[in-house]
Amino acid sequence: MVRFYMEKGTHKGLYKSIQKTLKFFQTFALLEVVHCIIGIVPTSVLVAGVQVSSRIFMVWLITHSIKPIQNEESVVLFLVAWTVTEITRYSFYTFSLLDHLPYFIKWARYNFFIILYPVGVAGELLTIYAALPYVKKTGMFSIRLPNKYNVSFDYYYFLLITMASYIPLFPQLYFHMLRQRRKVLHGEVIVEKDD
């Protein structure tokens, strides 16, 4: 991403140039949920599920499907937030497994999110917001009556509901990370409710 910006001097075309890698890694992140379900990692299934499904949704049902929004600045916002987060997170896992975790990586893992989470969420919400006029105009992914199954679905209203769902769900993730931060960096013992 940095190389693209240095070479082109603009964010336009960035999404197109990284989309394959993005789709591959974000789709495979589903394995993180599987790992929680089968108990390979002790992470909450609910927390990992919300985190991964929101990213898959952004990648496939928003950015991939709605071409006119791919060059929005808000796309860069969430791409940068996700990228820095995952570089830090997987460095943390790798060094932890090697039993040589540098303090800076641990510190970064449990501090960067304080800024990156709101930045990422802002990028995601602004991108969905930018998609709304196109979705309304084209009626994409919507099912209109009458049809033989007597079912109707409006993707435009689905997106509005999805945006609203960030209000109860995002604080859950953010406060979870704040609790993890207190536990890992300050050694506080925190009793969490089971899923």
Ligand X SMILES: CCCCCCCCCCCCC[C@@H](O)CC(=O)SCCNC(=O)CCNC(=O)[C@H](O)C(C)(C)COP(=O)(O)OP(=O)(O)OC[C@H]1O[C@@H](n2cnc3c(N)ncnc32)[C@H](O)[C@@H]1OP(=O)(O)O
With binding defined as CB under 6 A, does residue 117 bind ligand X?
yes
SS3 state of residue 2: helix
Nearest-angstrom CA–CA distance, 184 and 43: 14
Q: Which of 33, 47, 128, 131 binds ligand X (CB under 6 A)?
A: 47
Nearest-angstrom CA–CA distance, 112 and 6: 24
With binding defined as CB under 6 A, does residue 69 bind ligand X?
no
Task: Check if 117 is active-site.
Answer: yes
Closest distance between ligand X and the C-beta of residue 136, in Å? 19
Residues facing residue 143 across a β-bridge:
153
Q: Which of 22, 33, 63, 82 binds ligand X (CB under 6 A)?
A: 82
Count CB atoms within 10 A of the CB of residue 81. Answer: 22
With binding defined as CB under 6 A, does residue 62 bind ligand X?
no
**How far lies 88's CA from each of 55, 92, 152, in Å?**
17, 6, 43
Which pair of tokens denotes residue 137? Answer: 């105009």
Closest distance between ligand X and the C-beta of residue 167, in Å? 9
Part in contact with ligand X (CB under 6 A); list of ranges 14-22, 126-134, 162-170, 185-193 = 162-170
Question: Contact, 71 vs 13, CB < 8 A?
Answer: yes
Closest distance between ligand X and the C-beta of residue 52, in Å? 8
With binding defined as CB under 6 A, does residue 96 bind ligand X?
yes
With binding defined as CB under 6 A, does residue 159 bind ligand X?
no
Task: Check if 32 is active-site.
Answer: no
10 Å CB burial of residue 137 (0-12, 13-18, 19+) is exposed
10 Å CB burial of residue 66 (0-12, 13-18, 19+) is buried
Indicate the residue whose CB is closest to ligand X.
120
With binding defined as CB under 6 A, does residue 10 bind ligand X?
no
Residue 61's Cβ-side half-sphere holds a number of Cα atoms within 13 Å equal to: 17
The residues binding ligand X (CB under 6 A) are: 41-43, 47-48, 50-51, 53-55, 57, 81-82, 85, 89, 93, 96-97, 113, 116-117, 120-121, 124, 162, 165-166, 169-170, 173, 176-177, 180
Supply the residues annotated as catalytic.
Answer: 117, 124
